Structure 1
Amino acid sequence: MTQAALQKMGHRVVDWKSIQRRLLKEVTMDILSATSAEDIMVTTSNYGIAAYQLWQVQKLRQHIRKEYLDYWEATASDGGIGRPVDAIICPVAPYAAPPHGKKSYTNYSTVWNALDYPAATFRVTTVNSTLDGKELPHGFYDDFEKTFMKCTAPEIFKDAPVSLQLAGRTQKKEAVIKMTEIVDVALAAAK
């Protein structure tokens, strides 16, 4: 729906390949736990990671950030407009907005934290039991993600918001907000 609405408004849409999403979530969780390791140890008796391990994790994150940046820059030749894409539009989660307290998978949004890319979420539609009860037209990224398909029963998510997120480049928060507004206008015009 979003792709069609944007194309109708004259925007070019390019498919985006997800890179190292699960690894980025693990790296982010290691960094977050390390930065508060002492507090965590005192409060919950859990452990953090040592400084050397933190450096290694941050080094890994930098390599993955470079891989994403290289891929982003390469879209200049794939997009047909001679410059890299402006933003990435993708799911927020492998399911619609869950019932209160039931969100259990953050990998779709944590990736932007790990990459230091600003992102904004916007509503596209609501769950439609006729449309959303069908098998997905695409494959899953991995087996772990496939397990969430069982949690997307239309009766559980009846009329729940279906949202996407728009991610932009580091230091481009205002541009992300403006591009999200453009998407919102396109979606409203398509209804």
Structure 2
Amino acid sequence: MQECFHIKGYDASDGYVSRAFDPSTTNSYLVSLVQAAGAVIIAKTNTPQTMLVAEAHNNLFGRTKNPVVSHLTCGGSSGGEGSLLAFRGSSLGIGTDVGGSIRIPAAANGIYGYKPSFGILPMLGYAASGWTGMNTGVPAVCGPLGHSVRDLRLLTEVVRGAKPWMDDPALIPHVCERGISDRLPIVGVIEKSSLTPHPPVLRAVRAASEKLRQAGFTVKPFEPVDFGDIRKVTRQLFTLDGLSYAKRELSKTGEPPVPSVKNINFWGMQPKRPEEMWVWNTKKLALQKEMLDRWTAAGIDVVLCPAGPHTAVKPDEWIYDTYTVAWNAMDYPAVIIPYTQVIPELDPQDDTFVPLSEEDKEVQSWYDPDLMNGAPVNLQLVAQRLCDEQLLRDVEIIDQVLNLGEKPSEC
């Protein structure tokens, strides 16, 4: 379990020194639920200071490393979960995601991860890392990380089978129990949006698209709402309080922010007045409407896109959540699957690259095929809001075609 869940007798610090040596007196609801189903919880795993960044590093427990390529980041916020699973230290893990915190560690460590729609899995009683009750308009969710799509489905089905909506008023009953279609999904492909992916990421998306096409899937390009425009909105929504909670917790002990927290450039953002909050949420709703219209017009069931503009990078450099936070803002479920790895001979630097922006130029400058040699390259698959059950079924078939070479009829 990610460290932010309460387990009786253990701290739930969210990476703050101020919350150390304060063991939980109760379990989070999800902890009790999975234990009642027979789960054996073997560890709490590391998270970032503040829970805001894609790096499992704090002043309490230090930095969690990537077990696949140890000089690269393991991601975050569920970085400890991703690292432990990649090291084969656990069978299944549970993390949280508000901007990519399940999917980034899954991608960085070469495992599977699932970010549900809001209302699918219970967050009741989790150790919040911000002001309780502050609605940013981009809700945090919890979800599984594992070694297969079957693992992700297992956790989801066990939890939903316990009818958690009888206890958690935020959950939606029966939405994952409606039955699913057996037909092959129509796949829309996003190669890039706002930030140009590094060469191995582009290679993976293109190769996967072609393999699905050859297997009989209908595959077509999809032009989404610009992910950069979405990220401009989420940056404002994530800092409605001007990070007053994080600053308060750090000030209690004089704790300095770790480099990854400073690098995301949230620290100097000002708190918003209620009217400003309404404006930014209205902008988010307009982007949701535009994405829905584009999706409907394209006639697709699933989107295949990068998990990020790059693979795992050097520690403290994963500062752009552009490819993951877009789907949090839309409240669309998303699954990460492994596919290939960085191979320098196949993935040289792109000498023809022309940056779309200064951010794009910065991201591309991080690419070093020798440094990233062997780093996992994962893919992201996305469906529309609350189509979670269908997405997990569709991704299981896609995964078997891409990673096992099976035909759809054999899946």
After TM superposition, the score normalised by the length of structure 2 is: 0.41
Please state how far the C-alpha of 1:139 moved relative to its aligned partner.
6.4
Contact kept? 2:342, 2:373, Cα under 8 Å: yes
Which residue of the partner structure matches residue 96 of structure 1?
A: 311
Q: Does 1:172 align with 2:387?
A: yes
2:272 to 9, 29, 49: 49
Distance (whole Å) between structure 2 residues aligned to residue 185 and residue 139 of structure 1: 36
Which segment is superposed worse, 134-143 or 100-109? 134-143
> Contact 2:237–2:280 at 8 Å: present in 1 too?
yes
State the one-letter code of the partner of 1:55. Answer: W
Decide which structure has greater helix share: 1
Deviation string 1:126-155 (CA, Å, 9 cap, x unpaired) is 001011114288866544223211211111
The answer for the alignment partner of 2:245 in structure 1 is 39
Aligned equivalents of 1:124 and 1:142: distance in 2? 29
Aligned to 2:100: none
Post-superposition CA distance 1:53-95 (Å, at most 9, x none): 01000000111111111101111xxxxxxxx201111111111
Aligned to 1:65: 288
Tell whether the 8 Å contact from 1:28 to 1:113 is kept in structure 2 after alignment.
no
Contact conserved, 1:20 with 1:64, CA < 8 A, in 2?
no
Q: How far 1:24 moved relative to its partner? A: 1.0
- On the 8 A contact 2:336/2:380 being kept in 1, the answer is yes
- Tell me: CA distance 1:116–1:60, structure 2 relative to 1, closer, same or farther (3 Å): same
Q: More relative contact order in 1 or in 2 (CA 8 Å, sep 6+)?
A: 1
Query: Contact 1:97–1:163 at 8 Å: present in 2 too?
Result: no
Residue 340 of structure 2 is matched in structure 1 by 125
* Mapping 1:147-166, distance limit 5 Å: 147-166=362-381
CA contact (8 A) 2:242 2:272 kept: no
Return the TM-score normalized by structure 1: 0.84
Contact 1:5 1:190 in 2 (8 A): no
User: 1:15-26 alignment to 2 at 5 Å?
Assistant: 15-26=221-232
Judge conservation of contact 1:94–1:145 (CA < 8 Å) in 2: no
Q: Provide closer, same or farther for how the CA distance between residues 143 and 123 of structure 1 changes in structure 2, counting only shifts above 3 A.
A: same
Residue identity in the other structure for 2:229: L
Distance 1:134-1:100 versus aligned 2 partners, 3 A rule: closer
Which structure's CA Rg is the greater one? 2
Shift of 1:101: 4.4
Q: 1:36 to 1:97 in 2, by over 3 A?
A: same
> Corresponding residue for 1:28?
234
Distance 1:160 1:68 in 2: 32
Native 8 Å contact 1:123 1:162 kept in 2: yes
Please tell me whether residue 187 in structure 1 is matched to residue 393 in structure 2: no
Alignment RMSD, CA only? Answer: 2.5
Bigger mean CA deviation after superposition, 33-42 or 167-176: 33-42
Contact 2:339 2:403 (8 Å CA) reproduced = no
- Structure 2 residue ranges without an equivalent (≥5): 1-206, 252-267, 407-411
Match for 1:14 among 200, 215, 220?
Answer: 220
Q: Does the 8 A contact of 2:234 with 2:325 survive in 1?
A: yes
- Corresponding residue of 2:6: none
Q: Secondary structure at the match of 2:336?
A: strand
The alignment-based identity, stated in percent, is 24
Q: What residue in structure 2 maps to residue 78 of structure 1?
A: none
Please point out which of 346, 361, 371 is paired with 1:146: 361
- Structure 1 runs not aligned, ≥5 long: 76-83
Structure-1 separation of matches of 2:213 and 2:352? 20
| Counterpart Cα distance in 2 of 1:139 and 1:89 | 24
Q: Which moved more, 1:44-53 or 1:11-20?
A: 44-53
Contact map agreement 1:123 1:164 (CA 8 A) in 2: yes
* Secondary structure of the corresponding residue to residue 301 of structure 2: coil
Whether contact under 8 Å (2:349, 2:369) holds in the other structure is no
